[in-house]
Structure 1
């Protein structure tokens, strides 16, 4: 089996070397870029399984890099985790808003960092295994296709980020059931991942913008449910 390809994009040479060293020790094939533009070019050349993006970079920040990559064919399901020293809510929301899968803050602790990376890859592998057989949900004017990771509403095809799709599929799988926030976190992000409190809210907002705001109901103090 070929080693998993990981691309690191960071403008700090010490950070690049540090992360590369720890990932290579674990058997990953690692590529690096020192700015956003080179990061996009390298990603197109090597097609990495996972991209680690620093948010704060000159010329083109990590959020814009992710935004551009997500719009390119073949990068819809590429794993993206953001790396930053900033802990403000708006940075985290912006990172998730453009399709980020995880968010790791500096300073980096090698064992914790590697644990997060491996957990992200494991969840992705489980998701891909579930896609081997066609699986479609249809409710009202919505058709949810797990093969294409898309939602069709009438004649319109709505493309969703991976986590948005997983969240929607979970809610639609049991219409009317109230999913607690804890249950959503565990089933969509996994128990071994730490994400911000606003994560679910960001994804719910994006889903409402894309499919309509009347399908997903907020149950205050508990969670969310899908109604048709």
Structure 2
């Protein structure tokens, strides 16, 4: 009898632990505010090298040449008064047709130490959650996981952010897992996405900033 009672107590304790973990995960993934609360304002245009250089100064824009295009954009927002400041954003440029990212994105802000470029697992997690991001993020090829392209990591206090991406014509020698956003594009081909990220890298939400 004692053995049976101990088994029952053990099962109850185990179930309580599982419920507690599930509850913590739910709470951990809850966004402190919706993306609409930011009142985000954006611009996105195709520009010449001189315009891009002036907008990004003192940050250098990647050198462009014949057949290249330059995407120049700005994103600004206002944090809700009670918003925590320990999260961050990801700003992502995607080719709607291929879900490819630019090879490199230059960025500046009034707080230059609060912005940077690169890639991590954030877009992978967002692509798993939102069907309109399917195909973005990591690529499985040749038995390996590939992440090709560049997007921005931005602190919540970095508004406004100005960025530029130089798009080169597609390289016919590139393998599929090495493909990046390539010229020529139109603005209708480009999707600008803002992703809200928590202090532990958890994805809160993803918002389309271009129609």
For normalisation by structure 1, the TM-score amounts to: 0.23
**Structure with higher RCO (Cα < 8 A, 6+ apart):** 2
Higher strand share: 2
For normalisation by structure 2, the TM-score amounts to: 0.24
Larger radius of gyration between Structure 1 and Structure 2:
2
Higher helix share: 1
